[in-house]
Structure formats: C-alpha cells, structure tokens
Amino acid sequence: MTEIRAPITGSVWKVLVGDGDAVSAEEVVAILESMKLEIPVEAESAGTIGLVLVSEGDAVTEGDAMFELE
C-alpha cells in the first residue's frame, strides 16, 4: 500500500475519488487551493483507493497523507 500525499500546503477544495475507486497513474484525485491557486493532486501509480483520509475543506500541510492507494 502507498499513500498519495499533499504536494503543497493548502486546503482541500475538491475530492474527486472515493473508497474503492480505481485510478490510473497521473489521474487527478483531488484539488487543493493554496494562495488562490488550484493545485491538482495526482496518483503516482495505478491502483485502487483504499481509504480517503481527507474531506473537502480540510487543511493539509505539504507531505500529509491524503489517500491510501492499494
């Protein structure tokens, strides 16, 4: 199992996947808002989302785990 981590400090604007969803490498799984910019969060590899660890509106710090990828 790997984790998809926040690439930058910001707030979770939109979560695009749910538990059990299949994702491909480089697929956008969430969008962060930081300094009025929208930052896409991508899956580094293909897999299945095992657990969504964040909700829309949550604050995240660079490196925080956002999803578990199986």
pLDDT in tens, the chain (70 residues): 899 999 999 999 999 999 999 999 999 999 999 999 999 999 999 999 999 999 999 999 999 999 999 9
Q: What is the pLDDT of residue 1?
A: 84
Q: What is the pLDDT of residue 41?
A: 98
How far, in Å, CA of 22 to CA of 47, rounded? 6
Contact 27, 16 (CB under 8 A): no
Task: Name the DSSP class of 5.
Answer: E
Q: Per the confidence metrics, is the pTM higher than 0.85?
A: yes
Which range marks the domain in which residue 50 is found? Answer: 2-69
Total structural domains within the chain: 1
Q: Residue 32: which CATH number?
A: 2.40.50.100
